[in-house]
Chains A and B, each alone.
Chain A
Amino acid sequence: MNKVLEAQGIVKSYSNVQVVRDGHLHIYPGEFVSIVGRSGSGKSTLLYLLAGLEKADRGEIHYKGRVITGLNEEQLAVWRRDNIGIVFQNFNLIPTLTALENVSFPLYPSKMPASERRQKAMTMLEQVGLADRAHNRPHQLSGGEQQRVSIARSLVCQPSILFADEPTGNLDSDTGDRIMDLFLQLREDHQLALFIVTHDEEKVAARADRRIEMKDGRTYSDEIWEDAK
């Protein structure tokens, strides 16, 4: 099976401190990989590197066989829009826009007609169960609802990988459970690979196909899913 994403020997330092050293990992289409590790171990940094939001000092990242480490910022932006979705712990919605507008936000720069954009965004909102809150602005939504909006936004361009950095970190445990249910449901529906950074071993990491642990910037994989193949 072809890997959708593969990282080899990636290194990232911040002011002479190596935060990610020799990161190795790969994700298959539709696979759910969770990243765990102590605070400060470099999980978020790894995610940003894979999502093209940070540039690696060394090493290569391949996406569907194409090297993305050499792309410039503008090319990376387009790559992100067309291929990946990102979900943050603190939702990162645009406060002045409604839920529906936030979901269609990645499509704004495209030449797509407004009606089609709305249509796509509405479909996504329906899938995350928030169709009835389409015209509410973020401050009128609960944390769980805001996270659903941000998940809908991350999926509106039909990515093949979804990166999430502690998506349940700001939510109570019940709400977190339901967000995880949603992730797994969406994975089924869209053949989506999930790459989720988490602190929650029990409720998040336990449901993953594979767990990668980070320690001092190094990745340690337990190859459960691969072994099962």
Chain B
Amino acid sequence: MGLRYVWSELVHRPQRSIVAIISIALGVALYLSLQAYAEGYQNAARTPLTEIGADLVVQREGDIPDAFEGIVFPHSTAPIGEEEVAALREVEGVEEVGEALFFWSFESDPFLVGLGIDPEESFGPGRLRTAIREGRFLEAGDTGVAVADSSYADQYQLQIGDTVQISGEAFQLVGLADTSRVGNVANANLYLPIADVNRMVHAAPQVQSVYTLDEQVTNLLFVKADSAQASLVADNLKQLLGERSLVTTPQSFEDVFGTTFQLIDRFGLLVGFSCLFLALLGLLRVVVGGLTERRRDVGIMRAVGWRKREIVRQISRESLVLVAVGWSIGVIAAIGIAYVLSYFTVSIPVPWELSPTPHFMAGGAKSLALTVTMQASVQPLGIAGTGVLCLLAGWVLSWWLARRAANMKPVEVLRSE
């Protein structure tokens, strides 16, 4: 029927059409790209932990030893007791727990950060398997061997086959790993079998002076948890391990992004909806303006025998076309913005506690940063949602306005005086 007329109206009153289209497009684009932006940051915040394959990292603050000699625990990795670990495995939502043993060694030359790991574990530092650059990764039953971080090895010209002395024990290098590829969480210079580290730790006076140790010592836990419950699990773990526990979740990284992100994350939906709302107000303005301008046209429609519902249908169609075009442009713009955002990188500061190096070492007090690309994308659900919302609101709005306009008395506008 009047599609030709719809087209003529929109094309021959370009200013009005453009204003409506732009306001809808802006609203939709803003809404969708805000969501994409927030999602990009959320994804970024998840990377430090996803890169090591865990959902939570659990530590506990402890005490500073009298002297930094031999093997020492950084104060952010105090031992967690065997019973506590057992209890922790029972917490609802916890799926798997991986244990590691983090230490500083001042006796070796040079100073090194070590991490005792269970090579069989597929997550946590076990992930380093994928980052081996040369040689091999640790294997079950290994003893007296180690894998070095490749940049540390480069710095001290260490090669596969060389030995490193720690507390009088010799460790032969069997592999070099590019740890920077696996995030900056629990980074160490040297990765050793956890049993070897456990033995050395029990013999370390500066550990014994501050802590009483269980037979099997651990001070860094990697937890896989039901991701839907991650924050609840984190709360439960904190409760279990007491006030000094440090539980790192994706949320903890979001917290360091600063206020802009937090505002968008928390109020993004609100802001987005406000944008859409404003867009619909823009449409309202245009439709109202158009109908005032077109009172005479509506009078003519009535005079030549259009029924009210036919007039309403005509006017609603015009608005729906504007909404549909505006929405499409908005979606395309949002996809473009998300594409541009994906070229941006986000620098995620990794708290010192997660990869502690002594403050008195060069660069030791600095927290590391992990640089990741924004994984921002426009969600199909958002596209569909804004589409339905805009079309529905546009239709209701224009139907209501057109209904009012069609109720006019044609004679009022048709009298020539």
Q: State the A residues within 8 Å of B (CB).
A: 44, 48, 51, 53-54, 73-74, 77-82, 86, 88-90, 92-97, 101, 105-106, 108-111, 114, 137, 153-154, 157, 165-166, 169
Contact = CB atoms under 8 A, between A and B. Distances in A.
A101 B1 contact: no
Interface stretch (B4-12, B31-39, B154-162): B4-12
Interface string B1-43: 1101100110111000000000000000000000000000000
Contact of B416 (A90, A95, A110): A90
B305 A77 contact: yes
A92 B4 CA distance: 19
17 contacts: A53-B302, A74-B308, A77-B307, A86-B304, A90-B416, A92-B300, A95-B12, A95-B297, A96-B9, A96-B13, A97-B5, A97-B8, A101-B4, A106-B306, A108-B310, A109-B306, A165-B416
Nearest to A159: B305
Contact of B305 (A81, A92, A114, A165): A81
Interface string B304-340: 1111101000100000000000000000000000000
Contacts of B314: 108
Contacts of A106: 304-306
A54 B411 contact: yes
Contacts of A94: 5, 297, 300
A73 B306 CA distance: 10
A109 B1 CA distance: 6
Contacts of B410: 53
Given A80-B304, A86-B303, A114 B414 contact: no
Given A96-B12, A97-B8, A48 B411 contact: yes
B5 A101 contact: yes
Contacts of B2: 108-109
A108 to B, nearest CB: 4
A53 B414 contact: yes
A101 B279 CA distance: 32
A191 B372 CA distance: 83
Contacts of A44: 415
Nearest to B7: A96
Interface in B87-141: none
A225 B137 CA distance: 116
Interface string B234-274: 00000000000000000000000000000000000000000
Q: On chain B, which size bracket covers the interface?
A: 20 to 34
A92 B303 contact: yes
Given A88-B416, A92-B414, A169-B416, A111 B1 contact: yes
B416 A166 contact: yes
B123 to A, nearest CB: 66
A77 B306 CA distance: 6
Please give me the 6 A-B residue pairs with the lowest Cβ-Cβ distance, nearest first.
A81-B305, A96-B12, A109-B310, A106-B304, A80-B305, A89-B416
B403 interface: no
B5 A81 contact: no
B296 interface: yes
B311 to A, nearest CB: 9
A62 B310 CA distance: 26
Given A92-B414, A96-B9, A108-B310, 5 more contacts: A88-B416, A96-B8, A110-B1, A137-B12, A157-B305
A190 to B, nearest CB: 17
A103 to B, nearest CB: 11
A133 to B, nearest CB: 17
Nearest to A90: B416
A86 B14 CA distance: 30
Contacts of A154: 304
Contacts of B307: 74, 77-78, 109
A226 B315 CA distance: 47
A77 B299 CA distance: 12
A97 B13 CA distance: 11
Nearest to B296: A92
Given A92-B296, A108-B2, A82 B308 contact: no
A109 B299 CA distance: 15
A11 B416 CA distance: 22
A114 B4 contact: yes
A101 B6 CA distance: 12
A114 B302 CA distance: 21
B319 to A, nearest CB: 16
B144 to A, nearest CB: 88
A205 B108 CA distance: 121
A78 B8 contact: no
B305 A82 contact: yes
A2 to B, nearest CB: 23
Contacts of B4: 101, 114
A108 B302 CA distance: 12
Interface in B370-417: 409-411, 414-416
A51 B411 CA distance: 11
Contacts of B297: 94-95
B297 to A, nearest CB: 6
Contacts of A86: 303-304
Interface in B287-307: 296-297, 299-307
Nearest to B297: A94
Nearest to B410: A53
Nearest to A76: B305
A93 B12 CA distance: 14
Contact of A53 (B1, B9, B303): B303
A108 B297 CA distance: 14
A82 B297 CA distance: 20
A86 B303 CA distance: 8
Given A54-B411, A109-B1, A78 B12 contact: no
